[in-house]
């Protein structure tokens, strides 16, 4: 215990992080990073519009509405309104429900889902300019990703859902920034956020995953609001002997929280998915779609085995045979591989309950075999199809589409928003929303932008 106490005292991170959040101004943000913020918000609206009418949201909206204190804030893609705490939670659920949101590659945190909904809900209760929104968003993403870096990979491997557990810090710091909290108050907010961190990998593939993602947005906002009113907390909620990093991590890298602050922006290591599934499946789907496009469809009936080689995380996170729902299929290689091979598609329809029930997909998925190779990055994979006549065909993807090496273009992000807006059946004007996002830096009222994503009231 004494050694741990000395370690915590020798590695102060809470106070430096809070000071950085409080001191950073818009002028400190490089132009390329400013543009990346807009790309993140574009992707946020795309995925939130896709999930807005999922049954998970229908149930959650119905339940949360019973406890909403007012109708200040809109829900993305829906006509209902809620108080800002509940709206933040529900919009975070909508953005993450299909696992189609952005990914911080080093940690696999989905950073935008907890932060953007909190800020958009806040912007409808109090006037918030585009630049203030963008700066707060950037700092919230920075805080949660750096805290995640300090405890990765142990944290996720131990079973914690890192988007939920670290997302609450992102939301707290983003709202703390727009509230202009003093560094001491930001430390208090980090303390209240740490006390509310939670979320389990065991919940993936079920509705309950959405609860902790929603809580990350809601509870982080609450932590900042409490701090504004003088609600105090521990001096070292992150690095303390019994602080978040020590309790939730194994030999945490304290320096990861503060190393290069203000110079190395974590948002530059955020990627946007081309497929609605676990990020480690992206290179697999690229390979399978390429194979599907060049093989005679009759050859698929002659497959004897499918060999999948990739980073060990690929097997650890997607070796899920016998899945029963579309939600589960998003993290199952045994579904992703056959659906891409046989149908030549990998959109949301490919990961639906109907697709999961297809016996042809189940049969082909049973032929899958994994090979772990630590030399592969999470963005690379090789798929080998072996046929009964002793021939084979293969596809090796070095860098998946949507990875940091092959990022989605601005046009592709726009197309993603348009496609997912149609999929989610919200009837909102995707074109107006896209224009508003690209021009958000000069917006006087971000609440107006949020309202562009609301579904029109039914006649």
The SS3 call for residue 380 is coil
Confidence class for position 2, pLDDT limits 50, 70, 90? very low
Q: Is the pLDDT of residue 3 over 70?
A: no
The SS3 call for residue 230 is coil
- Structural contact between residues 246 and 6, judged by C-beta atoms closer than 8 angstroms: no
Q: Is the pLDDT of residue 1 over 60?
A: no
CA distance readout (Å), 389 to 79, 228, 291, 303, 369: 57, 70, 18, 9, 19
What is the predicted pLDDT for the residue at 399?
96
Give dist(CA 85, CA 89) in Å, integer: 6
- Dihedral sign, Cα of residue 326, residue 327, residue 332, residue 336: positive
Hey, where are the domains in the chain? 2-272+410-452, 279-397
What is the predicted pLDDT for the residue at 457?
73
pLDDT tens sequence across 190-202: 999 999 999 999 9
Q: Which fold has domain 2-272+410-452?
A: 2-methylcitrate dehydratase PrpD (1.10.4100)
Give dist(CA 19, CA 13) in Å, integer: 10
pLDDT tens sequence across 145-174: 999 999 999 998 899 999 999 999 999 999
Q: Is the peptide bond before 322 cis (omega within 30 degrees of 0)?
A: no
Confidence class for position 9, pLDDT limits 50, 70, 90? low
Half-sphere exposure for 195 (CA within 13 Å, toward CB): 13
Give dist(CA 259, CA 248) in Å, integer: 20
Q: Is the pLDDT of residue 184 over 90?
A: yes
The separation between the first and the last C-alpha atoms of the chain, rounded to the nearest angstrom, is 64
DSSP string, 141-154: HHHHHHHHHHHTTH
DSSP for residue 200: B
Q: For residue 303, list its beta bridge partners.
A: 387
Q: Is the pLDDT of residue 10 over 60?
A: no
Where helices occur in 267-409 by DSSP H, the ranges are 282-294, 312-318, 326-329, 333-343, 353-356, 359-365
Give dist(CA 63, CA 90) in Å, integer: 11
CA distance readout (Å), 387 to 176, 298, 315, 393, 454: 59, 12, 23, 8, 51
Average pLDDT, the chain: 95
In the block, residue with structure tokens 């939130």: 48
Average pLDDT over residues 205-221: 95
* Angle (nearest 5°) at CA 98 between 257 and 134: 45
Neighbours of 423 (CB within 10 A): 19
The SS3 call for residue 389 is coil
Q: CATH second-level architecture of 279-397?
A: 2-Layer Sandwich (3.30)
Q: Is the pLDDT of residue 456 over 90?
A: no
Give dist(CA 416, CA 355) in Å, integer: 21
Query: How is the beta sheet containing 303-310 ordered, strand by strand?
Result: 368-372, 303-310, 381-387, 392-397
* Nearest C-alpha neighbor of 331 from the set 163, 104, 100, 158: 100
């Amino acid at each position: 215990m004494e050694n741990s106490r000395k370690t915590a005292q020798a590695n102060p991170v809470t106070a430096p992080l809070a000071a950085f959040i409080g001191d950073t101004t818009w002028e400190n943000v490089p132009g390329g990073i400013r543009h990346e913020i807009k790309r993140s918000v574009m992707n946020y609206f795309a995925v939130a519009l896709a999930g807005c009418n999922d049954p998970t949201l229908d149930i959650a909206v119905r339940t949360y509405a019973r406890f909403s204190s007012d109708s200040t804030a809109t829900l993305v893609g829906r006509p209902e309104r809620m108080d800002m705490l509940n709206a933040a939670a529900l919009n975070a659920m909508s953005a993450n429900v299909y696992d189609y949101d952005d990914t911080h590659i080093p940690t696999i945190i989905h950073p935008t889902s907890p932060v953007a909904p909190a800020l958009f809900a806040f912007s409808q209760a109090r006037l918030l300019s585009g630049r203030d929104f963008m700066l707060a968003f950037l700092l919230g993403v920075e805080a949660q990703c750096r805290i995640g870096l300090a405890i990765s990979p142990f944290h996720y491997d131990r079973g914690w859902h890192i988007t939920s557990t670290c997302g609450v810090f992102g939301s707290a710091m983003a709202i703390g920034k727009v509230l202009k909290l003093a560094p001491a108050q930001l430390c208090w907010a980090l303390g209240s956020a740490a006390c509310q961190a939670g979320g389990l990998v065991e919940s993936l593939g079920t509705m309950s995953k959405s609860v902790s993602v929603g809580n990350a947005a809601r509870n982080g906002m609450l932590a900042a609001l409490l701090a504004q009113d003088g609600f105090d907390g521990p001096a070292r909620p992150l690095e303390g002997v019994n602080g978040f990093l020590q309790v939730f991590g194994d030999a945490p890298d304290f320096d990861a929280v503060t190393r290069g602050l203000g110079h190395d922006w974590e948002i530059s290591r955020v990627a946007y998915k081309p497929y609605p599934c676990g990020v480690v499946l992206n290179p697999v789907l690229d390979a399978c779609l390429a194979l599907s496009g060049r093989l005679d469809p009759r050859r698929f009936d002659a497959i004897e085995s499918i060999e999948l080689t990739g980073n060990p995380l690929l097997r650890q996170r997607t070796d899920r045979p016998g899945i029963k729902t579309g939600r589960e299929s998003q993290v199952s290689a045994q579904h992703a591989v056959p659906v891409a091979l046989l149908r030549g598609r990998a959109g949301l329809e490919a990961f639906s309950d109907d697709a999961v029930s297809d016996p042809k997909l189940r049969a082909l998925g049973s032929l899958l075999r994994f090979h772990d190779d630590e030399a592969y990055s999470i963005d690379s994979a090789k798929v080998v199809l072996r046929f009964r006549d002793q021939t084979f065909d293969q596809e090796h993807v070095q860098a998946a589409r949507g990875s940091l090496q092959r990022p989605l273009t601005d046009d592709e992000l726009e197309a993603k928003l348009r496609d997912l807006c149609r999929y989610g059946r919200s009837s909102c004007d995707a074109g107006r929303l896209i224009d508003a996002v690209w021009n958000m830096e000069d917006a006087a009222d971000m609440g107006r932008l949020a309202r562009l994503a609301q579904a029109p009231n039914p006649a």
